[in-house]
Structure 1
Amino acid sequence: MRKLLLLTSLMFISSCAYFKSIGVSDIFTSSSEVRSGNTDKVKKVFQLSDKAGKFVVEREKGFNKSKNQFIVKKSVKVSGESKELEKLIVISKLGTLKKSLTVLRPEISEYSVWFEGKKYVSRMEVNPNTKSMEVKLTSPERQWQGKRVFSFPNSTGIFCYFSQITECARATGFIDKAIKRDSGSMKVVIIWEGYPYFQEQYLNIPNAVFTEGTFEYDGKNSRGERRFTLKVGDQAIFYFLDDNRELMKKFWVSQGLSMVELE
């Protein structure tokens, strides 16, 4: 299924119009006042390999100080080509929990994909008044149309977008503390920002917006890389961070997926 969808999918989002609609114009601004390092603008290029082939991933993260928004953007292209296969954006608010713990509060996301030449869109937005996630689906299929509302589950875990997990964990201070102690585990609730289309591309992913899990520190390897594991929905995904605590590698063995930074 994944191979078929990757070969037939084209993901498109009109970034400028979307940013304007949610109040984000100059999406990234430099800031040294809010938890140093994690708010820096960082753009990296990776090679993604899976059963469908090799692809180039452009990933950019940064902080918009005027909007207090932490943003991650990602696009996927076939190696040597300019046409995008995937593109997404997730936006969180920098805040505190119980007046002491710094967190990234999920706010809004958009994921679009083309299946067999037809466009499917999933746009999510948190409704703080009802403590729910509003999901607006647009597609040529009736089953994936209209608005759906999902209540946030009662959980002691930190809510994190799947595509923002390392930045989400870092904002709480967990990554630095775990490295210092050489151990640590953090409870999380993953938000699958690509729901329900994401579940069509990957095998054995929970058919839900929210899934509880853990983000754990595994230690330092001989190359000096710090490894963390996201355990969620019977899946184990390995993340390797560089000395600046930025993502440099990602391995999802059960899906046959690897993503390695290009130098």
Structure 2
Amino acid sequence: MRQGIPAAGNFLHQELAILTGSVEAMVVDVQCIMQALVDLASNFHTKIITTSSKVKIKGATHIEFNEHEALTIAKNILKEAIDNYSNRGKTQIPQVKEDLIPGFSHEYINYMLGGTYRASFRPLNDAIMSGRIRGVAAIVGCNNPRSSQDYLHVKVTRELLQQDVLVVETGCGAIASAKLGLLLGEAGLDQVGPGLREVCEAIGIPPVLHMGSCVDNTRILTVLTQMVEEGGLGDDIDQIPAVGLAPEWMSEKALAIGTYCVASGAYVIFGGSSPVSGMPDRV
């Protein structure tokens, strides 16, 4: 997500975007790529462009990315899309939009809580210690086609907000909340508990904070570390009233991130079923 460039959706939207007939080129990297994209795109004018030496898909156009020639390569990819515009046929774009405020890095949350000249996590720790906020939940991870799109993300987020839990999100989970308007200032405050509402109104933040892409979860660990350093809630991450949830995870990347968070002391919950459940010699 970049400033001034709106997000079209999350993981499960990639095929739906092609179905609108308005996508000249879909550029993919190495992760979260649906296997049938090229076959689907062949029914439209859309070009699928791969950019990594690790991922080359039969039927796709390959323009390999090199960080030393990033601008030139980006221009070549844009030219492919522009040249393909003349092949566009009938389009059908849903007129459904929602605003959001993204980009709450751990540095910015620090400033929001304590001010530019006295940035601190003390207000958040105090709000938890006084009981106005019951804790912090990080809801992250993918969409999963085994459940209705965004259903588990939205259900868990709404329930936690009602229980006065501050929610931080990344990746596809954040876009799920954005579509409901929960990533906007006062929007959604009528759906949260009284303690959380009081804190959000005093600081001027949404009840759900967008902290980046799905690979930015280390920012959340940084927040937990700074909460520990601020004092009053525990001596390590495992003593902080915080939890990480991946309600609809579907990729090995999510497992790797979750394992790292567990090793760091965080309490982590994965939704759905385990791919190795029922095996006595597996965890």
Query: TM (normalized to structure 2)?
Result: 0.25
Q: Choose between structure 1 and 2 for higher RCO, CA contacts under 8 A separated by at least 6 residues.
A: 2
Which structure's CA Rg is the greater one?
Answer: 2
Specify which structure has the higher proportion of helix.
Answer: 2
